[in-house]
Amino acid sequence: MAISSAGIGSGLDVGSIVSRLVDIERQPIRQLQGEATRLQTQISAFGRVQGSFSTLRDAASKLTQASTWSASTATSTDTALLGATATGGLKGNYSVAVSRLAAAQTLATTAFASASTSLGSGTLRIELGDFDSDPPVPKAGATAVELTIDPAKASLTDIRDQINGAGAGVAASIVNDVSGARLVLRSAASGAENGFRVQVMIDDDGDLNDAGGLSALGFDPSAGGVSLMGRTQTAANALAVINGVSVESASNTLDGTIEGLTLNLRKLGQAEVVVEPDTAALKKSVDEFVNAYNESIKLLRQQTSYDPATQTAGPLQGDRSGNTMLTQLRGIFTGSGGISASYSRLADVGLNLNTDGTIKVNATKLTAALANGAELKKLFSNVDTVTPANEGFANKLQGWLNQSLNSDGPLDSRTQSLQARKRNNEQAQARLEDRVARTQLRLERQYSALDTRMGQLSGLAGYVSQQMSLLNNGNNS
């Protein structure tokens, strides 16, 4: 019950009295709210640590992968003639002489008045293969496609669209110039096996060999075939000599001809290709690893330390889990690791541990170590489940991070514990809020009654005083 006119009867500031008493009752709630804020800050701090550890695990994992250590780069002496891309190829030099580029077969009709000119109806049969050879060699796995040309849709445009929608391995287009419109057919892919022939199975004008009607699209270079379309480009395989070995390809992209190397043939001539380890990519992976490790160390130190200058404690200062993880993380990089004959400590490759646990890179040493990738790989990624001391540093770290980040690991367990405490705190606040509300209602009722009673007493006192005054006046008269 709210007090609508507290103090009117008695002159007491009832509202202020009740407010101050309720404020005293709320003191435990404010203490709980402060504790809830601290708990949430700790939960958030562990969340930041978890995110930092996830980034560090990704960086460490990269240094355990074979693809990281086998990365290579290819350089061509003439990129206009020959493009080269390494995909993990072995170190080496390759001399490439290109004598022929792969080509796609192209056919063209004679010129017609316009693209709307009707050729007439009938049936076309398109088949992929090398039909210049004797005997003709249809393409393995390809199926000939037959197209029925309707009289109402027999224009160059209609036939172009029907060929493009047939999935015959041939692309059709129309070329216009001063002579008129020509239907042009081109293999969808280069190479001798992707040549094609166009057989006119039915021409409704009754003549399969004339230049009129649908037979104008015939092209069959095999023995006895009719070829009324003109061939402007013959299907051909690319020919090249690589380190003295002749190679042939249906495509100008040689992928897998040399293991781990892709060559793109662009014109005739000769060029050299050099394949060597990609030390720049490897250095980037090491740098990412160092940066991620340093960020994790700095974050843990910040969260668990006390700054005497500002008299500010980190949210995890005094937290056993945070301090333990900081100690363990720093400890992983002390001592030796791997079975490299050249390197046993991180300092051997220029990764020096500072007193605060972070890593400082000696660029000169690291550059020298990157040139000895096989031994550097052992230092970081050697696997030895029998002798833990022989484990590479990246493997050791990845294993520790997996345990730390697992659902039953210290990060998750500590976070769940804090979240449980926060839930209990919130429930306690709710109970106290309910008690304070009931206390406020009781105080309002009590002081309202007191106010009313004191008002009544004040009125009675006034009446008695008035009567006494009248009595005294009467006696005096």
* Tens-binned pLDDT, residue by residue, of the chain (477 aa): 444 455 445 566 777 888 888 888 889 999 999 999 999 999 999 999 999 999 999 999 999 999 899 889 999 999 999 999 998 767 899 999 999 999 999 999 999 999 999 999 999 999 999 999 989 999 999 999 999 999 999 999 999 999 999 999 999 999 999 999 999 999 999 999 999 999 999 998 888 888 888 999 999 998 777 788 999 999 999 999 999 999 999 999 999 899 889 999 999 999 999 999 999 999 999 999 999 999 999 999 999 888 888 888 888 888 888 899 999 998 888 878 888 889 999 999 999 999 888 999 999 999 999 999 999 999 999 988 788 888 899 999 999 999 999 988 889 999 999 999 999 999 999 999 899 889 888 887 887 777 677 766 666 666 677 767 777 776 665
Residue 21 falls in which region: left (phi positive, over 0), alpha (psi -120 to 50) or beta: alpha
Q: Tell me the C-alpha distance between 445 and 456, whole Å.
A: 17
Does any domain span residue 41? yes
Task: Please say whether the beta carbons of 89 and 261 come within 8 A.
Answer: yes
Does any domain span residue 205? yes
**295 and 361, same domain (yes or no):** yes
Q: Measure CA 414 to chain center.
A: 29
**287 and 311, same domain (yes or no):** yes
The boundaries of the domain holding residue 143 are 106-233
**114 and 190, same domain (yes or no):** yes
**250 and 298, same domain (yes or no):** no
Q: Nearest 5°: phi and psi at 291? A: -60, -45
Residue 304 falls in which region: left (phi positive, over 0), alpha (psi -120 to 50) or beta: alpha
**131 and 214, same domain (yes or no):** yes
Q: How far is CA 9 from CA 150, 443, 471, in A?
A: 107, 17, 27
Q: Is the C-alpha dihedral spanning 134, 137, 138, 139 positive or negative?
A: negative
The answer to whether the pTM exceeds 0.75 is no
**407 and 288, same domain (yes or no):** yes
Does any domain span residue 463? no
Q: Tell me the C-alpha distance between 247 and 261, whole Å.
A: 14
**242 and 253, same domain (yes or no):** yes
**142 and 225, same domain (yes or no):** yes
E strand segments, 325-472? 351-353, 359-361
Q: How many domains does the chain have?
A: 3
| Residues 6 or more apart in contact with residue 204 via CB below 8 angstroms | 120, 121, 122, 151, 213, 214
Does any domain span residue 310? yes
**116 and 77, same domain (yes or no):** no
State the pLDDT at residue 474: 66
Does any domain span residue 472? no
